[in-house]
Structure 1
Amino acid sequence: MQKAKLALKANSEHKTVIQLSDRVSIGGPDLLIVGGPCSVENQMQMEIIANRLAAAPVQALRGGVYKPRTSPYDFQGLGVEGLQILASMRDRYGLPVITEVMAISQIEEIAAHADVLQVGSRNMQNFDLLKALGQVNKPVLLKRGLAATIEELVMAAEYILSHGNSQVILCERGIRSFDSYTRNVLDLGAVVALRQITHLPIVVDPSHATGKRELVADLARAAVACGADGIMVECHPEPEKSISDARQTISLEDMVSLVRSLEPIAAAVGRSIPVGAGIVPRLSCV
C-alpha cells in the first residue's frame, strides 16, 4: 500500500471533498444519499422516481444505461437514449446523475450527459479504462471488485489519481464468500479501514451487497453509523417489475422511509442530510 502515493492520507485530518454539482458534494459534513433504479427503463419510470426522490430528500440519482450482465441475452441497457433520459432528469429535478461506464469508447458520451462516471466491480482492475478516466474532469465512483482486497481497491483508485483526476469516490458493495444466503458480504470493516487509510470519500451500496430488499435498510443505517460518506440504494416504483436486480430493489415508499430513519444516525456521527438539493416540480406526465 506504500506505493499509493496519492490515495493515502497525508495526516489524520486529510479529507477530500468532491463536488457532484453546484449544490451537492461528498466528503464533507453532508451525507450523500443516492437512489434510483438498477436500469433506466423509460422516461416515465425516471420521472416518477426523480420526482419522489427529490422530495425525500435524495441528493443524487443513479441509473444504469450500459449494463454488464452475466448472460449476453439479458437486457443490456438503453445506451444513448438512457443517457438522454438521465440528463433530462438532472435538468428538471436538479439532481446530479451517476451511471456506469464499461468501456473507453463510452467515456465521451457518458461524460457529456452524466455528473459521475461509475466503474463497476467487474471493471475495477480494467487498468486501461482507469487510466482513461484519469484524464476526465468528472468525478469517478470506483466500486470494489467481487473479490478485491482493500489494497487492490486503493491501488485501482491510484491509477485514476495518477493520471490526473483527483475526483475519486470509493464504493464498498460487498465481496463474495462461501455463504450464499446473501448475494455478497458487506464489508463494513473495510469502510472503517478505508477512512483511516485514505482521504477519498466512501460510499456504501447495500443493495448489491445483500441481494435481498428486506436487508437493505438496516445495512444502509449501519453504513452511516460506521462513517460512510454516502449510501447508494436501488429503488423502483414497482420493485418486482424492475427489469434487472428486482430482488434487491426497494420501493420508493421504503426509500423515503429509509432517508428519514437516517437523520438521527447521521446526527449522531456528526453528519447532516441536506434539504432542498433537488427541485420538485409538479409531475404532469402521470
Structure 2
Amino acid sequence: MFDKLFNRQPNDKPFLISGPCSAETEAQVLETCQRLAATGKVQALRAGIWKPRTKPGGFEGVGAKGLPWLKKASELTGLPVAVEVATAKHVEDCLAFGVDLVWVGARTTGNPFSVQEIANALRGVDIPVLVKNPIHPELELWVGAIERLQKAGLKQVGMIHRGFSSYGNTDFRNAPMWHLPIEMKRRMPELPILNDPSHICGRRDTLFAVAQQALDLDFDGTMIESHIDPDNAWSDAKQQITPEVLGQLITNLVWRHETTDKAEFLTALAGLREQINNLDAEMMQLLGRRMAVAEKIGQYKKDNDITILQTARLNEIMERSKRQGAQVGLTEDFVERYMEAVHLESVTHQERVMNS
C-alpha cells in the first residue's frame, strides 16, 4: 500500500497525502475525500481527529467518533487513511478502526516521554509511522523520536518536515530552515521524507513555491491540507485549499529525479563537482591560515590583558563582509551566518591560547 513511499523507484512520482486539517462532520470528510480521489493525484487521505491547540478554548477535534468517517472515506475511494496520534489511547483507537498510517505531531516529537508511550503502543504492530520535526530546531529530538520507534520494532518509519518555530519570522508560519531536513536526509538517507507546506506557509498563496522547493531538494512527497470550504474551516482556514485547486497545484509542480544515466550529464557534473572539491580544499586551507593568525592575536591579547571579544571589530568585519559578499552574488543572510561561524571558531582558538 505504501510501497511508493517506503520503497520508491527512480521514476515514481512524489507521494501525496491530503485531506482536511480537521474532521468536522461526516459529510465534510466524505465529500472532501471523494473530491480529492477524483483528482487522481492523491495516494493517501488525512484528517485531524485530535487537534492539539496552543491555547484552551479552541476546537480540539471531534475525537474518536471521526475515525469511522475516515474508514468510510477509505472504503468509498479505495485510498488508505492517515491520522496524527499523540497518546497511546490515540494509537489504540486508530488501530481499532483500521487506520493505515499514523504520524507523530511536532508538539509530541519534542516530548520523549510521549514518543516512548506511542512506541510502546505500536510495539509488534506492522504499520507505517511518520515523525514530524519538533517545533523548535533541535535535530536530536527528531532523531531520538525516530530511534524510539525503530527500537520498538517498527520497520516503516519516515519523516515529515513542517518547518520550525522561529522568533521574528514573518515570511512563514514556521520557518522551513531547509538545512535541517537536508541534514536529516544526510544522516538517515534510507528514510523517506515528506514536506508539509501547509504548516510551513500558514497561507495558501505560497504553498506551490514551498512544495516545488521540497521536490527540487529530492523530498519523497508532500502533505497538503484540503477542505471543501477552506474559508469556513474550523481550524487553519487560511492554509487550506479545495481539492480541485490542490489537483491543479500538483499538476503544475515539476517532477525531478536525483540522477540520470545520460553520459553527457554525468561527465559534465563530474567535472563541475571536481571544481567544487578543489575550491573547498582551498577554502579549508585559507580558514586554517586565518585561525593561525587569530591565535597570534590571542597571544598578544593574553600578554596585554585584553579581552577576546572586541565588539567594534566584529561589527567592522560583518559590514565589510556583507559588502564584499554582495559584490560576488552572496546573500546577506548567508554571509552573516558564515561569518558568525568563522568568528565563533576564531574565539575558540583564542580561548585555547588564553588558557594555555
Q: TM-score, length-normalised on structure 1?
A: 0.81
**Residue 101 of structure 2 corresponds to residue 116 of structure 1:** yes
Q: Where does residue 239 of structure 2 map in the other structure?
A: 248
Q: Which one of 160, 163, 186 corresponds to residue 196 of structure 1?
A: 186
- Return the structure number with greater strand share: 1
Alpha-carbon displacement from aligned partner over 1:220-246 (angstroms, at most 9, x marks no partner):
111111111110001111111010011
Give, in angstroms, the shift of residue 130 of structure 1: 3.9
Paired residues of 1:26 and 1:32 also in contact (CA < 8 A): no
Structure 1 range deviating more: 103-112 or 129-138: 129-138
Paired residues of 2:18 and 2:45 also in contact (CA < 8 A): yes
Structure 1 range deviating more: 74-83 or 218-227: 74-83
Alpha-carbon displacement from aligned partner over 1:39-70 (angstroms, at most 9, x marks no partner):
01112212221122113221111101111112
Higher radius of gyration, 1 or 2:
2
Runs of at least 4 residues of structure 1 off by over 3 A?
Answer: 23-27, 267-271
Unaligned runs of at least 5 residues, structure 2: 261-356
Give, in angstroms, the shift of residue 131 of structure 1: 2.7
Q: Where does residue 152 of structure 1 map in the other structure?
A: 141
Q: Considering only aligned residues, what root-mean-square deviation do their CA atoms show, in Å?
A: 1.9
Q: TM-score, length-normalised on structure 2?
A: 0.66
Q: Which amino acid aligns with 1:190?
A: L
Paired residues of 1:27 and 1:200 also in contact (CA < 8 A): no
Distance 2:194 2:119 in 1: 22
Paired residues of 1:204 and 1:223 also in contact (CA < 8 A): yes
Q: Which one of 173, 180, 183 corresponds to residue 162 of structure 2?
A: 173
**Residue 45 of structure 2 corresponds to residue 54 of structure 1:** no
Paired residues of 1:111 and 1:117 also in contact (CA < 8 A): no
Paired residues of 2:49 and 2:67 also in contact (CA < 8 A): yes
> Could you say which structure has the greater relative contact order, defined with CA pairs below 8 angstroms and 6 or more residues apart?
1
Q: Which one of 205, 223, 226 corresponds to residue 196 of structure 2?
A: 205
Q: Which amino acid aligns with 2:246?
A: M
Other structure's SS at 1:98 match: strand
Give, in angstroms, the shift of residue 132 of structure 1: 1.8
Distance 2:151 2:30 in 1: 38
Give, in angstroms, the shift of residue 156 of structure 1: 1.2
Q: Where does residue 140 of structure 1 map in the other structure?
A: 129
Q: Where does residue 15 of structure 1 map in the other structure?
A: none
Distance 2:24 2:221 in 1: 25
**Residue 107 of structure 2 corresponds to residue 107 of structure 1:** no
Number of equivalent positions: 249
Other structure's SS at 1:122 match: helix
Task: Output aligned runs, 1:211-250, within 5 Å.
Answer: 211-250=202-241
Give, in angstroms, the shift of residue 167 of structure 1: 1.4
